[in-house]
Amino acid sequence: MQVQNQTQQIAEEPLLSLSEDELASITGGCPRPNPLDEARRQLLRRRTGLWRYP
């Protein structure tokens, strides 16, 4: 459990240097994006040609 927490922190660390707008565009406005939602959002982006999906 602790090892997973450590990797999670390391993975999220680079996001701290981004501005809030950049962060929101990457995560879709939520602090911890659901991988399924992210995949769905990418599919919608590809279909509609929108790169920023609300």
Query: What is the rounded (10 degree) CA torsion for 24, 31, 53, 21?
Result: 0
Residues 6+ apart with CB under 8 A from 3: none
- Separation between Cα atoms, residue 25 and residue 12, nearest integer Å: 15
pLDDT of residue 45: 73
pTM of the model: 0.28
Structural contact between residues 27 and 33, judged by C-beta atoms closer than 8 angstroms: yes
Residue 3 pLDDT greater than 60, yes or no = no
pLDDT of residue 39: 79
Banded pLDDT at 14 (limits 50, 70, 90) = low
